[in-house]
Amino acid sequence: AQSVTQLGSHVSVSEGALVLLRCNYSSSVPPYLFWYVQYPNQGLQLLLKYTTGATLVKGINGFEAEFKKSETSFHLTKPSAHMSDAAEYFCAVRGNNAGNMLTFGGGTRLMVKP
């Protein structure tokens, strides 16, 4: 079975500061890992994903995440926060069931202060 833990349901940063959103996972198979972003009253948009290969993954809007197997982590970072980054972020791991369904963390709401 898979599980995902996102540390911190709310994170607040100042505009221009580093963004770090934490995600730890457990998986009985080699994990496929995802970060999604959700803006208010909208659906989920894929930010980036790790499947195999390079452990540092770059996504849209300047975000990146590093897969660390030894730490079972997949933290999301962005060097400089922008006001438009304010949203809710979800980490997810793909399951090994027939439909490869995703298991999500509880989400982290990112607030960006001017």
Partner 1 sequence: NAGVTQTPKFQVLKTGQSMTLQCAQDMNHEYMSWYRQDPGMGLRLIHYSVGAGITDQGEVPNGYNVSRSTTEDFPLRLLSAAPSQTSVYFCATGTPGNTIYFGEGSWLTVV
Is residue 25 involved in binding partner 1 (CB under 8 A)? Answer: no
Helices and strands (H and E) in the chain: how many: 0, 11
- Number of C-beta neighbours around residue 82 at 10 A: 13
- Integer Cα distance of 21 and 76 in angstroms: 5
* Phi, psi for residue 28 in degrees, rounded to 5: -85, -5
Write the interaction track for partner 1 spanning residues 70-99; mark x where CB under 8 A is met and - where it is not: --------------------x-x----xxx
In the set 7, 17, 22, 44, which binds partner 1 (CB under 8 A)?
44
What is the smallest separation between the CB atom of 66 and partner 1, expressed in angstroms?
20
CA angle 43, 48, 61 (to 5 degrees): 80
Is residue 49 involved in binding partner 1 (CB under 8 A)? Answer: yes
Is residue 105 involved in binding partner 1 (CB under 8 A)? Answer: yes
* Cα distance from N-terminal residue to C-terminal residue, the chain: 41
Is residue 9 involved in binding partner 1 (CB under 8 A)? Answer: yes
Residues that bind partner 1 (CB under 8 A): 4, 6, 9, 32, 34, 36, 41-46, 49, 51, 90, 92, 97-107
